[in-house]
Amino acid sequence: METVAPVAPGPGAGPFPSLFPPGLHGIYGECRRLYPEQPNPLQVTAILKYWLGGPDPLDYVSMYRNLGSPNQNVPEHWHYVSFGLSDLYGDNRVHEFTGPDGPSGFGFELTFRLKRETGESAPPTWPAELMQGLARYVFQSENTFCSGDHVSWHSPLDNSESRIQHMLLTEDPQMQPVQTPFGIVTFLQIVGVCTEELHAAQQWNGQGILELLRTVPVAGGPWLITDMRRGETIFEIDPHLQQDRVDKGIETDGSNLSGVSAKCAWDDLSRPPEDDEDSRSICIGTHPRRLSGKDTEQIRETLRRGLEINSKPILPPINTQRQNGLNSDRAPSRKDSLESDSSAAIIPHELIRTRQLESVHLKFNQESGALIPLCLRGRLLHGRHFTYKSITGDTAITFVSTGVEGAFATEEHPYAAHGPWLQILLTEEFVERMLEDLEDLSSPEEFKLPKEYSWPEKKLKVSILPDAVFDNLLH
C-alpha cells in the first residue's frame, strides 16, 4: 500500500471521466457531490491489485477533509471512503456481474470518520489498513456487513494505547446509495467503540448503542465520529442514564445477536467413551465429522450478519437432501460453508440422522461462556434462539426456546444432534434457574477457571475452561 493521488482527476474535473471504470465513476460522483472542492483527494492504493494476485481487496481508499457542522456540534474530521467491495469494473475480474438491479459486488463500500487533531495537516493512513482488514474478512468469508453489526477487534484500532478497540457499523450520515451499471452501492460507516460499549451492543443490539453514541458529542455525536483519544465510555460519561437505557432495552427488546463464532465443544454423555459412535469424535477426533451442506448453510445464515433485522424465531426445517447447499426459501448465497474449505462433500445418511441424547456436557472458553447469560436472558426468554459455531472445527451448539419453530430438539427430547450440530431446548422455568446459578458469569474476573455447573436432574453439565486447556482438549 502507498499513498498517492488518483491516477486521473475525479469525475467532472476535466476531460478524463471516461478513463474511470463505471463502478468507480459512480462512487467518485457521490464523493464529488460532498466534496466539490476536493476533486483530487489523497488516496491509499493497492500497489498490486487484488485481481492481479495482491493481498489487498480494496483498490483505493480516498481520504477527504470534512469541516464538520458547528451548528450540529460536529467537529472537523477526516472522511475515508473505500473502493473495491462493490463491483468497479463489471467484467468479472473481481465480482460476478449480476446486472444493474441488485447489489453491486457485495453491495456496499466502507467509510470511516476520524476526528482531526489540532495541527494535523494530512490524514493518518492507518484507517485504510483497518478497512483493508475488514475487506479481507468479507472477501475470505463472503459474509457481508449490515447496519447495526459489530466487529470484535480486541486491539486499539490505531495500534496505540486507545480504549477504542472494537467497531460498530451504521449507514454513513452523508453519503447516499449510488446506482451504477453494475448494481446498487450503499455506504456503511465504521464507528470505533470501547469494550464496554461492544458488550452492551451484544447484550442488547448495535442500533441501540449507536443511538446512545449519537446523543453524546464526545463519544461520536450525530455523525458518529471516532475519537481515538476518547478516554471514557458512554457509561462513565453518564453512568445512570445510559446503563438504565441499555438495561431497559434488553428487558424490552432482548438481544439481536443470534449467534457467535466461539471456542466450544460438546460431549454426548449418554454413550460410554469406548463407543465408536461417541459424539466426542465429533469434537475432538483428528478427523471430525462434517456438517452437511444444508446444516452448514442454516448455521451460516444465523451467523452471517450477527444481527437479525427481522427477528422471526424460526429455524428452517432440516432436510437430509442437499439442495446445492441452499435453503429453498432464500436467494442463493455466495458461499455454502462457514469454513474456508468446502463442506459440500457427500455425507453418509447415517451420520446426519437426528439423534436424541439423554445427557450432554457443554464446554466453552471464558469469552464464550460469558455470553451464556446473554443467550438465556436476551434470546431464549424472548422466544428466540442462539448459536455457538466452533472456530476450531465443525461443531455447533444452538440453544432454542419452546417458541422456536423448525428445531429438531423438543420438550420431550430437549437434547438432539444432527451430526456435529447439537440443539438444546430449554424451558422458561429452567432458563430462570440457570440464570440464577450462572450469575457469577457476569463478573468473569471474579472466579477461577476451570468452572463447572451441573444440573443432574436435567442431565446437563457446562464447563468453562481456560483457553490453553480448551485448545489442548480440541487437539
Residue 444 confidence (pLDDT) above 70: no
Across the chain, mean pLDDT equals 82
H or E segment and range at residue 356: strand 354-357
The answer to whether the bond into 450 is cis (omega within 30° of 0) is yes
Q: Which residues, 6 or more positions from 239, have their beta carbon under 8 angstroms from its beta carbon?
A: none
For 201-228, the pLDDT digits (tens) are: 988 889 999 999 999 999 999 999 999 9
Give 254's DSSP letter: -
For 296-321, the pLDDT digits (tens) are: 666 666 555 443 333 445 554 333 23
**Residue 397 included in any domain:** yes
pLDDT at position 216: 95
* First vs last C-alpha separation in the chain: 37
User: Do both 63 and 118 map to the same domain?
Assistant: yes
Characterize 421-444 residue by residue with b for buried, 16 or more Cβ atoms within 10 angstroms of its Cβ, and e for exposed: bbbbbbeeebbeebbeebeebeee
What is the rounded average pLDDT of the residues 129-143? 92
pLDDT at position 241: 79
User: Do both 262 and 157 map to the same domain?
Assistant: no
pLDDT at position 339: 27
Give 34's DSSP letter: H
CB atoms within 10 A of CB 401: 21
Q: Is 119 left (phi over 0), alpha (psi -120 to 50) or beta?
A: left
User: Do both 408 and 446 map to the same domain?
Assistant: yes
User: Do both 117 and 97 map to the same domain?
Assistant: yes
pLDDT at position 285: 30
**Residue 5 included in any domain:** no
Range of the domain at 445: 257-271+352-474
**Residue 296 included in any domain:** no
User: How far apart (Å, rounded) are the C-alpha atoms in residues 56 and 49?
Assistant: 7
What is the rounded average pLDDT of the residues 5-31? 66
Given 200, 218, 253, the domain boundary residue is 253
User: How far apart (Å, rounded) are the C-alpha atoms in residues 392 and 237?
Assistant: 39
pLDDT category at 1 given cuts 50, 70, 90 is low
User: Do both 218 and 263 map to the same domain?
Assistant: no
User: Do both 192 and 264 map to the same domain?
Assistant: no
CATH number at residue 385: 3.30.1360.230
User: Do both 215 and 362 map to the same domain?
Assistant: no
User: How far apart (Å, rounded) are the C-alpha atoms in residues 14 and 22?
Assistant: 16
What is the rounded average pLDDT of the residues 76-104? 95
User: And the C-alpha cell for 241?
Assistant: 442514564
Given 253, 284, 300, the domain boundary residue is 253
pLDDT category at 441 given cuts 50, 70, 90 is confident
For 316-364, the pLDDT digits (tens) are: 433 323 222 222 233 333 332 222 222 223 333 333 578 999 999 999 9
Query: How many distinct structural domains can be found in the chain?
Result: 2
**Residue 323 included in any domain:** no
Sign of CA dihedral 110, 111, 117, 119: positive
What is the rounded average pLDDT of the residues 235-251? 88
User: How far apart (Å, rounded) are the C-alpha atoms in residues 132 and 62?
Assistant: 13
**Residue 334 included in any domain:** no
User: Do both 102 and 245 map to the same domain?
Assistant: yes
pLDDT at position 310: 37
pLDDT category at 273 given cuts 50, 70, 90 is low
Residue 434 confidence (pLDDT) above 50: yes
Q: Which residue has the higher pLDDT, 360 or 15?
A: 360
Asked if residue 388 lies in contact with residue 397, where contact means CB atoms within 8 angstroms, the answer is yes
User: Do both 395 and 451 map to the same domain?
Assistant: yes
Q: Which residues, 6 or more positions from 244, have their beta carbon under 8 angstroms from its beta carbon?
A: none
Q: CA dihedral in degrees (304, 308, 312, 314; nearest 10)? A: 20
Given 206, 221, 253, the domain boundary residue is 253
Asked if residue 379 lies in contact with residue 372, where contact means CB atoms within 8 angstroms, the answer is no
**Residue 312 included in any domain:** no
User: Do both 155 and 267 map to the same domain?
Assistant: no
pLDDT at position 3: 52
User: Do both 249 and 265 map to the same domain?
Assistant: no
Residue 54 confidence (pLDDT) above 50: yes
pLDDT at position 475: 60
**Residue 443 included in any domain:** yes
H or E segment and range at residue 351: helix 349-352
Characterize 323-358 residue by residue with b for buried, 16 or more Cβ atoms within 10 angstroms of its Cβ, and e for exposed: eebbbeeeeebebbbbbeeebeeebeeeebeebebe
What is the rounded average pLDDT of the residues 377-406? 89
User: Do both 118 and 65 map to the same domain?
Assistant: yes
**Residue 395 included in any domain:** yes
DSSP string for residues in 373-440: HIIIIIIGGGT-EEEEEESSSS-EEEEE-TT-BT-S--SSS-EEEETTEEEEE--HHHHHHHHHHTGG
- Amino acid 40 reads N
pLDDT at position 311: 40
Residue 467 confidence (pLDDT) above 70: yes
Q: Which residues, 6 or more positions from 303, have their beta carbon under 8 angstroms from its beta carbon?
A: 143, 258, 259, 260, 261, 338, 387, 389
